[in-house]
């Protein structure tokens, strides 16, 4: 693993990690993380992918993980458009090291919601979406939908006003987030068409042409199948399909929203991911209406 420092904007640096295979890479993979999840969470999977021949890059969005500034996040300026620019910087860094290889994005939750906003989207050949949905609160899983009105209407505005950022780590919710990130995310989650409706960016998602395979977990405690279809549908002109995965399919009691990247799934989901990645970097994916 090689530690990298990316600069998506003057004065802004991101921590990134590059995992190189021992031989000639078969393709390049960027892992776009979920909201509040550090790149370290994906380290075992990224290391394993490199062992399978994929040049792999992970990174932390600005204001989070190892890209967080020293001290408090109070007054730190960042929003989700900035996080899209961070993803662009990661795409550029990986492409510069990939030597013309196919470039694939594995997007976990938020990581599959941002690619339609990217300036570098035409460099992406395929997106493997993992446990991602639109984020609209009524499309949340039932157990989350019962508590999310309190989260968005009380906890987030009150805590963010008091602290100047969202102190999620202290509250045991999501993780610490810059003020601009959490308030923009709140606005997205209140809109039936999520970010596409809240920001009026439908044409940017419709311009995406990379192939999409979306994995929807039947026991996801956050995202629903309907939400996944809504998100994939935003990429209206991309070849795409949704695949549902149940724990019983991989001899497990649970997968959930975060389980895919846990080492226990190396013999099952990780092995199957090699097939899914090959499907994405070879032009055989047939579009399925989402």
DSSP strand pairing (176-178 vs 165-167) = antiparallel
| pLDDT single digits (tens) 80-113 | 999 999 999 999 999 999 999 999 999 999 999 9
Give pLDDT < 70 ranges for the chain: 283-290
| pLDDT single digits (tens) 171-185 | 999 999 999 999 999
pLDDT of residue 284: 55
pLDDT of residue 115: 97
Domain ranges for the chain: 2-145+200-281
Provide the whole-model pTM.
Answer: 0.94
CATH of 2-145+200-281, one of 3.50.50.60, 3.40.50.410, 3.40.50.1820, 3.10.180.10: 3.40.50.1820
DSSP strand pairing (2-9 vs 12-19) = antiparallel
pLDDT of residue 47: 98
Residues with Cβ within 8 Å of 31's Cβ and at least 6 positions away in sequence, in order, are: 39, 42, 45, 46, 56, 57, 58, 105, 106, 108, 111
């Amino acid at each position: 693993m090689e530690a990298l420092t990316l600069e998506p904007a003057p004065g802004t640096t991101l921590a990134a990690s590059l995992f190189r295979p021992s031989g000639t890479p078969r393709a390049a993979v960027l892992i776009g993380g979920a909201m509040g999840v550090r790149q370290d969470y994906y380290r075992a999977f990224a290391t394993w992918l490199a062992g399978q021949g994929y040049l792999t890059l992970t990174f932390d969005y600005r204001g989070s993980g190892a890209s967080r500034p020293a001290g408090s996040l109070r007054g730190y300026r960042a929003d989700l458009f900035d996080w899209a620019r961070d993803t662009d910087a990661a795409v550029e860094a990986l492409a510069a090291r990939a030597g013309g290889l196919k470039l694939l994005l594995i997007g976990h939750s938020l990581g599959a919601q941002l690619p339609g906003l990217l300036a570098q989207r035409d460099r992406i050949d395929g997106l493997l979406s993992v446990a991602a949905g639109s984020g609209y609160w009524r499309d949340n899983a039932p157990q989350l939908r019962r508590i999310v009105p309190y989260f968005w209407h009380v906890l987030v505005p009150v805590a963010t006003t008091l602290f100047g950022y969202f102190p999620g780590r202290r509250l045991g919710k999501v993780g610490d987030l810059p003020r601009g990130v959490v308030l923009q995310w709140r606005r997205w989650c209140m809109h039936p068409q999520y970010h596409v409706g809240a920001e009026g960016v439908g044409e940017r998602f419709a311009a995406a042409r990379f192939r999409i395979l979306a994995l929807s977990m039947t026991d996801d405690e956050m995202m629903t199948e309907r939400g996944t279809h809504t998100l994939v549908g935003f990429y209206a002109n991309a070849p795409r399909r949704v695949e549902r995965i149940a724990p019983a399919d991989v001899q497990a009691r649970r997968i959930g929203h975060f389980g895919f990247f846990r080492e226990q799934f190396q013999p099952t989901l990780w092995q199957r991911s090699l097939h899914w990645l090959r499907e994405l970097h070879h032009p055989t994916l047939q579009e399925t209406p989402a």
